[in-house]
């Protein structure tokens, strides 16, 4: 099949890093620079059996970087991620020439606090936002970005080292990783619990009031639903709770429902 070159370009994987058996990130070089804002996503595709299988992926890198970066989770029963998982340095992926998405920092709200919550790969847009400021982007006066990330086990925090470093270096940044299955990660010394528990715990300590805070939720659909409830009870209006849902859970089959 011919992939339309007016809509797609090839990106070449120049570096691949495996974080665990089912989590990896890549750095890639595009033929033509992709314009995007931190928080937006690219559409990546691989040809298989005569068709192009495409999905959305948040861009991890900052627009200030030469290369693009993505962070993937393997969905073994999925259509695209098993194909992406096979690719190595030197291989290419199709990418739509246009980035998309509205999940960007809302600096126009006038809020100083941006409370960024995520599950595993949902950290991608937040890394892009933080890197952009760290690489010299203008940091608005009083800005505070707080990233809370939950994962089952600590080795799923692929960007922990980088985000910890940013936390130490910049007063405007704070990173709080939390493990939800500490019994599978006995060396973990940090926070324990799901995103919504940690969010509740830190609300007051961080002074995150609805009048001064915009919340962002990215990744697992169940986490997003639960956190929306937490923010609603806390008095946040819908306008200031942004969401990027990574997938829609499959409906259980009739057999599963009746079993």
Q: Given the rule CB under 6 A, which residues bind ligand FAD?
A: 41, 55-58, 71-73, 75, 77-81, 101, 121, 124, 244, 246-250
The residue (of 112 and 245) whose beta carbon lies closer to ligand FAD is: 245
Burial class from Cβ neighbours inside 10 Å (0-12, 13-18, 19+) for residue 5 reads exposed
Q: At what angle do helices 160-169 and 124-134 cross, to 10 degrees?
A: 40
The residue (of 75 and 192) whose beta carbon lies closer to ligand FAD is: 75
| Residue 85 CB, nearest approach to ligand FAD (Å) | 9
The residue (of 50 and 136) whose beta carbon lies closer to ligand FAD is: 50
Q: What is the rounded CA–CA span in Å between residue 39 and residue 210?
A: 22
The residue (of 96 and 144) whose beta carbon lies closer to ligand FAD is: 96
162 contacts 19 by C-beta, under 8 angstroms:
no
| Residue 212 CB, nearest approach to ligand FAD (Å) | 27
Q: What is the rounded CA–CA span in Å between residue 84 and residue 44?
A: 9
State how far the alpha carbon of 71 is from the alpha carbons of 74, 99, 148, in Å. 10, 16, 17
Nearest to 58 by CA among 114, 14, 123: 123
| Residue 205 CB, nearest approach to ligand FAD (Å) | 29
The residue (of 122 and 177) whose beta carbon lies closer to ligand FAD is: 122
Q: What is the rounded CA–CA span in Å between residue 110 and residue 113?
A: 9
| Residue 231 CB, nearest approach to ligand FAD (Å) | 20
Q: What is the rounded CA–CA span in Å between residue 202 and residue 190?
A: 14
| Residue 81 CB, nearest approach to ligand FAD (Å) | 3
| Residue 244 CB, nearest approach to ligand FAD (Å) | 5
Q: At what angle do helices 195-206 and 221-233 cross, to 10 degrees?
A: 30
The residue (of 196 and 244) whose beta carbon lies closer to ligand FAD is: 244
Q: What is the rounded CA–CA span in Å between residue 73 and residue 79?
A: 13
């Amino acid at each position: 099949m011919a992939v339309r070159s007016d809509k797609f370009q090839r990106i070449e994987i120049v570096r691949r890093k495996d974080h665990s058996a089912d989590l990896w990130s890549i750095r890639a070089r595009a033929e033509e620079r992709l314009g995007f804002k931190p928080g937006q996503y690219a559409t990546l595709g691989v040809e298989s059996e005569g068709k192009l299988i495409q999905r959305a992926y948040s861009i991890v890198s900052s627009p200030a970087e030469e290369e693009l970066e993505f962070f993937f989770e393997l969905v073994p029963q999925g259509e695209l991620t098993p194909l992406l998982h096979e690719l190595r340095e030197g291989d290419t992926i199709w990418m739509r020439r246009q980035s998309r998405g509205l999940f960007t920092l809302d600096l126009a709200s006038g809020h100083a606090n941006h409370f960024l919550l995520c599950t595993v790969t949902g950290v991608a847009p937040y890394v892009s936002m933080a890197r952009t400021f760290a690489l010299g982007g203008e940091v608005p006066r009083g800005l505070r970005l707080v990233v809370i990330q939950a994962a089952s086990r600590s080795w799923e925090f692929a960007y922990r080292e980088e985000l910890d470093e940013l936390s130490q270096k910049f007063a405007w940044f704070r990173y709080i990783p939390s493990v939800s299955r500490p019994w599978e990660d006995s060396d973990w010394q940090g926070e324990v619990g799901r995103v919504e528990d940690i969010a509740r715990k830190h609300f007051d300590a961080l002074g995150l009031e609805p009048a001064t805070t915009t919340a962002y939720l990215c990744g697992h659909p169940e986490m997003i639903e639960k956190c929306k409830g937490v923010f609603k009870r806390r008095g946040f209006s819908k306008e200031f709770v942004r969401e990027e849902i990574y997938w829609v859970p499959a409906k259980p089959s009739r057999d599963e429902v009746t079993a």
